[in-house]
Amino acid sequence: MSDGTAFDGHAISPETRAFLDKHGKLLIGGQWVDGSGVMESRDPATGLVLAEFETGGAAEVDQAVAAARSAFDGPWRRLSASERMNLMTRLARIMEQNARLLTELDILDNGMPGFIAGLTTTNCVEMIDYYAGAIMRIEGSTMVPPRHITAETEALTYSLKEPVGVVGQIVPWNVPLSTAILKLAPALAAGCTVVMKPSEETPLSALALGQMILDAGFPEGVVNIVNGLGGEAGAALAAHDDVDKISFTGSTRTGRAIIQSAIGNLKKVSLELGGKSPVIVMPDADLDLAVPGVAMATFFLQGQNCMAGTRIFAHADIHDALLDGLAAFADGMVLGHGLDPATQQGPMVSAVHADKVFGFIERAKDAGATLVAGGDRLDRPGNFIRPTIFTGCTRDMEIMREEIFGPVMAVQKFDTLDIDAIAQLANDTPYGLSGSVWTQDISTAHRVVSRVRAGHVSINCHGAVGTNIPFGGYGQSGWGREFGEAGLQAYLETKAVTARL
Ligand code: NAD
C-alpha cells in the first residue's frame, strides 16, 4: 500500500487513505463484525493491493437475514413515512459531503475514469433524493367492490401498497456504488430491509456507504452488507428461505443460477442481466455526432457496461467514413489511471477478465474479422486493453453474438433501407437491453425504435439512462425494471381490501 495522501503517485483524499488503511468488516445488525474469511482488493490499473476486507458465507448471510427480518418486523416497520424520508435525505447529504471518498473508492477498486466515477456519485445522491421524495407518493387505489357484497350492503374496496419484506440485493463490479444505490434507494423507500452482497471484485464503496447509513441513523438491521464470493455468500442469499425477494444484477449465466436458487421459497426475483446491444447507423446520420457517440456507446466504462452498443450496423454509404472516424477516435483515446484527470479509458477490472476479453479479440482475428483499431494490450502494469474495432463482421461470428464486456466493437455493413430488414439484424440476439439508431430522419428513427426488441432504445445518443427513466431488458437481458416509478413498484406488494360497511 502507498503512504500519505497519494496512491501510486496520484493524489487521494485523507479520508480515502484512512479508509484503505482500515480492515473492512461485515455490516450486520448495525455492527461491523468479523467474517469467516479475508480477501484483498486490488487496483486494476497498477495491480497494487488497495485494502483487505472480511468475507462471509452461509453463516454470516443467515445472521444478516435474521437482522433484516427483525428490523422489518420491528423498528423499521413502525417508522412513519416522513421519518423514513428524513433518514434517506440525511443519507443523501452525508454522501454529498463524502463524494470524493465514494468517487475515489470506485476509481481505485474498479479502475473507471474519474469523470465517470464523479458522475455516478452525483447520480447516486440524486437517486436517493428521488426515492425519498417518492415515499409520500406511494399510493393504492379504490375499486368497485365485489357484487356479492354490494348486493347485501354498502362496501368499500381499495388497495394498499406494502413493502415486499426482506430483500437480498446482489451487485456486480462494473458500476459498484451506482448499482448498490439503484437497488437500495427504492427498497428503503418502499419500506423493505436489505441484505446486500457487493461483488468480490469491488467491495469498497459499499463499505463506505454502510458507515454512512449508520451515521444517518437508520435503525440497526435495516441495511446489512455481506461481502463474499458469489458461489458462497451470493448463493446462500439467493437460496435463503427467509428472503422475500432477490434483486440481482450480473451475468445472464448467474441470473439463471439465481432463479434456480430462488425456487425453494418462490421468492420474487428481479434480474438485470447482460446485453449485446445494436447500434444502427443510417446513411443520413450526422457523422460529427455519430462518430463520438457510437465510439462511446462501445468504449464508455471501457466497455464493461451492460448497455454497451457493441454490434454496430453501418449502412454501406457511410461505412468507410464512419470507420475512419471511429478508428481515429479509438486511437486517440487516453488510457490511464482513473485518478488521472486526462484518462478517458481505464483498465479491465481484473487480470482474469482482461485475459477473457483478449481471448475474444484473438478469436475474432482468427475468424477473419478485419481489425481497424487496437487489438492489443498496453505494455505496462495493469489490465489495459486498447479500444478495439473490427469490421467485416458477420452474424455468426462470436464477437457479434457473445457479450464481451470489454472495449471491443464489432461492425457489420448493411445496404438496405428496408426498416424491417434492418430491425431483423438488430434483433438477431437473445439479449434485449439497449440499442440506438443514428439518423436525421425522425420518421426513420421512430420506425426503427418501434421494431427494436430492447428495454431502452435511444435516437442519436446511446444509453441515455436517468434516475426517473425505467431500465431493464427484453429477452435474456432480464426480468423487471429498475429506476423511476417501476423501480419502486418492484419492492412493493399490492394488498386488496374490502370493507363491508
Ligand atoms: P456475475 O454474474 O459474475 O456476478 C454478479 C454478482 O453475482 C457478484 O456479486 C457475484 O459475486 C454474484 N454471484 C456470482 N455467482 C453467484 C451465484 N451462483 N449465486 C449468487 N450470486 C452469485 O457478473 P459480473 O461479472 O460481476 O458483472 C458483469 C455482468 O453483469 C455482465 O454480464 C453485465 O452485462 C451484467 N450487468 C448488467 C446490468 C444491467 O443493468 N442489466 C448492469 C451491470 C452489469
> Rounded to the nearest whole angstrom, what is the distance from the C-alpha of residue 332 to the centroid of ligand 1?
31
> Rounded to the nearest whole angstrom, what is the distance from the C-alpha of residue 254 to the centroid of ligand 1?
6
43 phi-psi bin (left φ>0, alpha ψ -120 to 50, beta other): beta
**Percentage of residues of the chain with pLDDT beyond 70:** 99
User: How wide is the angle at C-alpha 292 spanned by C-alphas 286 and 294, nearest 5°?
Assistant: 80
> Rounded to the nearest whole angstrom, what is the distance from the C-alpha of residue 138 to the centroid of ligand 1?
30
**pLDDT the model gives residue 4:** 57
Residue nearest to atom 36 of ligand 1 (CA): 250
Residue nearest to atom 15 of ligand 1 (CA): 230
**Percentage of residues of the chain with pLDDT beyond 90:** 98
Residue type, 324: D
Choosing from 272, 393, 403, 482, which is the catalytic residue?
272
| CA-CA-CA-CA torsion sign (43, 46, 51, 55) | positive
**pLDDT the model gives residue 2:** 46
Cell of residue 481, nine digits: 425494471
Q: Which atom of ligand 1 is nearest to the CA of 482?
A: 40
> Rounded to the nearest whole angstrom, what is the distance from the C-alpha of residue 283 to the centroid of ligand 1?
37
Question: Is 303's pLDDT higher than 60?
Answer: yes
Q: Which atom of ligand 1 is nearest to the CA of 251?
A: 32
Other beta carbons within 10 angstroms of residue 341's beta carbon come to 12
User: Can you give 357-375 as a three-state secondary structure string?
Assistant: HHHHHHHHHHCCCEEEECC
Q: Which of 251, 349, 433 to mutate to test the pocket of ligand 1 (most atoms within 8 A of CB)?
A: 251
Residue nearest to atom 43 of ligand 1 (CA): 306
Q: Which of 109, 170, 267 to mutate to test the pocket of ligand 1 (most atoms within 8 A of CB)?
A: 170
CA distance 170 to 195: 9
**pLDDT the model gives residue 1:** 45
4 phi-psi bin (left φ>0, alpha ψ -120 to 50, beta other): left
**What number is the average pLDDT over the span 105-122?**
98
Task: State yes or no: is 272 an active-site residue.
Answer: yes
Residue type, 471: F
CA distance 256 to 409: 27
Q: What is the pLDDT of residues 6-40, one digit of tens each?
A: 888 899 999 999 999 998 999 999 999 999 999 99
Q: What is the pLDDT of residues 339-393, one digit of tens each?
A: 999 999 999 999 999 999 999 999 999 999 999 999 999 999 999 999 999 999 9
Task: State yes or no: is 461 an active-site residue.
Answer: no
Q: Which residues contact 353 (CB under 8 A, 6 or more apart)?
A: 304, 383, 405, 406
Q: What is the pLDDT of residues 412-451, one digit of tens each?
A: 999 999 999 999 999 999 999 999 999 999 999 999 999 9
CA distance 435 to 428: 12
Q: What is the pLDDT of residues 209-258, one digit of tens each?
A: 999 999 999 999 999 999 999 999 999 999 999 999 999 999 999 999 99
- 167, containing H or E segment: strand 166-170
Cell of residue 205, nine digits: 464503496
pTM: 0.96
**pLDDT the model gives residue 8:** 86
Residue nearest to atom 6 of ligand 1 (CA): 172
In this structure, the residues whose C-beta lies within 6 A of any atom of ligand 1 are 170-174, 197, 199-200, 230-231, 234-235, 238, 249-251, 254, 257-258, 272-275, 306, 403, 405, 433, 473, 477-478
Strand order in the sheet with 166-170: 31-33, 26-28, 223-225, 193-197, 166-170, 245-249, 268-272, 478-479
Q: Which atom of ligand 1 is nearest to the CA of 255?
A: 2
- How far, in Å, are 105, 122, 334, 371 from residue 345 at the CA level? 17, 20, 6, 19
Choosing from 306, 393, 403, 482, which is the catalytic residue?
306
CA distance 244 to 268: 6
> Rounded to the nearest whole angstrom, what is the distance from the C-alpha of residue 170 to the centroid of ligand 1?
8
